[in-house]
Amino acid sequence: MEPIAPEDRKVANIKNGVFKPFATGSLGQTVLQVDDDAGFGVGFHIYKMEPGAVSTAHEHTSNEQFYVIEGDLTDHDGYEYGPGDIVCLKQGTKHNSSTRNGCLLVVHLGTKENNL
């Protein structure tokens, strides 16, 4: 096998990677995304919420899957997630989340066309 070409390998580290603001008006929410070919916040990424952050209510156009690395996350209905939880919220789910102490999540979001 040939070595992987540098342009075909992207690497970022959650300890020193560049987290970008999630969206305008989303205070305390940032994303570290290595592969942005599908669009920002789509595909596999790391999502960070600072203590007290609250996400905007939204509806998922594809399944959302996430793994809680650290911290706490509470959905609008009071369901609490913690470190080690792996979650799938189905396409069409409407929710928003908050965190008391902050959290770090590994997230995968598909597209309508590719609901993986």
At CA 51, angle to CA 40 and CA 81, rounded to 5?
A: 75
Q: What is the pLDDT of residue 116?
A: 47
Q: What is the pLDDT of residue 79?
A: 97
For residues 79 and 30, the answer to whether their CB atoms sit within 8 Å is no
Helix (H) or strand (E) holding 80: strand 80-81
Q: Tell me, what amino acid is at 57? A: A
For residues 110 and 116, the answer to whether their CB atoms sit within 8 Å is yes
Give per-10-residue mean pLDDT for the chain (116 aa): 93 91 83 83 90 92 94 97 97 95 94 54
The model carries a pTM of 0.87
Please tell me the CATH code under which domain 12-109 is placed: 2.60.120.10
User: What phi-psi label fits residue 14: left (phi over 0), alpha (psi between -120 and 50 degrees) or beta?
Assistant: alpha
